[in-house]
Structure 1
């Protein structure tokens, strides 16, 4: 199998696209062959993206009371959790957190709000004002994750200085009804298309450990390839008390790494960042994400859970003799 994986890597570097059947074959990799899979993914990543590591941070700018019923989400109004609830924070707070993220070494800064969409008027205007100030006073690249948006909103964000729009599909189309029934999967797909039409780069990925099969993980990767998104955040479920998935089992560290490697083989030239849930799911193998094909990671806290101190992640990169890159093209 090791030689077989070398052949896969060579052909992908030469321009071949991995088929769904080939990806399914590789998803069954086990034992020492898994390490050969990681090596193949690492070779591909280095060929297309080099050795630099992209670092990003986010602010939970509006939290809780989301009308969507996503089974994993602590901010859903359908769940009784201890997640914080507050309206959109003020402009000063958004800008201050951007400066903190830049000081911590992040190159991208995501403004994230709960809810189906952002309200036009004061909410959208406040975010746009903050983005303009971030562009004027920092070198960090502003990103927004504001839910399902229309073309007018996407253009407004781009004109304000937003570089990237983030909107996860969460899981495969075939599994989505088991996770969310309050909106249709196509609404999320259309938001990705809207952002691309507006001239924004698109960050779009999913979360694993929801009960999906290996085939459905591949299905999601193929959808992202068809949509030609620019970067892919990979999250791993951190079960939250009060949600429908509170008792879900964690994915094993090696299964996490295999998932990262498969996404790299399917999406060879795309930026792939490992984000939420890495501390709890990967445990002592967090540093292996870069050898499994990841090109970036999120530092600092997540939406409703804490990450580890940024200095720990910087030490990890130093120990691996890796350097931080930049998410700007």
Structure 2
């Protein structure tokens, strides 16, 4: 049976946009710019777009969902002025601010997450980029986690890397380095003036050359056009990341983008579908802002993305872990790496606790 949107007339067959996108993605080829823009334009029914994206997701990832968690090693007081960030220079957002947590606490937080089925632990610290002392601290944290959980993937996110730092992190046991492009090159100056789009590209390239798996994605809901979304997706494809987080703006009061609520659940799902078509065999991770923007349609997002964060984000609360695990089970998906014979009721006990530094996510009616 043809996918939704394909019509037949006798022996004639009209290939629709969605079927073309599926066929292109299954060959690991990039869609044309015109086709990519059509995904966002809204001419096809949303359910058909999701169904087409699911065909690609299922081919490469089955019904598995990879769980990730964030350990916020250092919060607030960042000298950079990224307009979307609650930790930015000049932010008055109501968040906790603290210096480096020790390796014992970090390892405990990571261990709790691993018990919940988390496969990747993301170690994050605010700032422009790490100095030598910072790298030593992170090396200690990585060692403490790997001693207890040698199987877990450790992803590090410390800002702009200097020469040789990626190699040190890799030698310490890190698997990946995360550094989002966030928005298109032509818009970058609108959201940040203290570093450039090119600085971010250079860091990703350094991470890859240093033996770390590159992780890079975006934040949407900052006023970007359809053309700019496609520009960013295509630019990321050229960088060839192994994982692509898709964030939706959490509009913190006290930041330049506070109060900006331009996303709808449908818009978020169309963006996710575009990224699945552009990254068919790459981990597409549903990241920050999913709860407040997708709302009741989070389950549809699981049919497109194959990876999510479990627990809290950097400075805001996520959905309770038990709710995420129930969502996955109810949708007929399985947690990657977790014992699939474990019942959903048992999995409810394996949840990450609220972590130091997580505040309350803003709500549309706040």
Query: Do they fold alike, i.e. is TM over 0.5?
Result: yes
Whether 2:105 is the aligned partner of 1:105: answer no
Tell me if 1:72 matches 2:84.
Answer: yes
2:159 is aligned, of 136, 144, 147, to: 147
What is the CA distance between 1:250 and its match in structure 2?
A: 3.9
Report the counterpart of residue 214 of structure 2 in structure 1.
Answer: 202
Q: Secondary structure of the residue that 1:53 maps to in structure 2?
A: strand
Decide whether the 8 Å contact of 1:55 with 1:326 is kept in 2.
no
* Contact 1:250-1:281 within 8 A present in 2 as well: no
Could you tell me which residue of structure 1 aligns to residue 309 of structure 2? Answer: 298
8 Å CA contact 1:143, 1:162 repeated in 2: yes
Distance apart, 1:132 and its partner CA = 1.5
Is residue 22 from structure 1 mapped to residue 22 from structure 2 by the alignment?
no
**Larger mean Cα displacement after TM superposition, 191-200 or 138-147:** 138-147
- CA shift at 1:326, angstroms? 4.8
- State the Cα RMSD in Å: 1.4
Whole-angstrom distance in 1 between the partners of 2:270 and 2:145: 37
CA contact (8 A) 2:247 2:287 kept: yes
The range that moved more, 10-19 or 70-79, is 10-19
Q: Distance in 1 between matches of 2:88 and 2:259?
A: 17
Structure 2 unmatched runs, 5+: 7-15, 339-366
2-structure distance, mates of 1:302, 1:9: 32
CA shift, 1:34, in A, is 2.1
Paired residues, what number? Answer: 324
Find the counterpart in structure 2 of residue 7 from structure 1.
20
Larger radius of gyration: 2
Distance 2:82 2:29 in 1: 36
* Alignment TM-score, normalising by the size of structure 1: 0.95
| TM-score normalised per structure 2 | 0.86
CA distance in 1, matches of 2:310, 2:262: 21
Give the Å deviation of 1:80. 1.5
Whole-Å separation in 1 of the counterparts to 2:337 and 2:274: 23
- The yes-or-no answer on 1:174 pairing with 2:186 is yes
Deviations 1:188-230 (A, max 9, x none): 0000000010111011101100111111111111111000010
Structure 2 residue 268 is matched with structure 1 residue 285: no
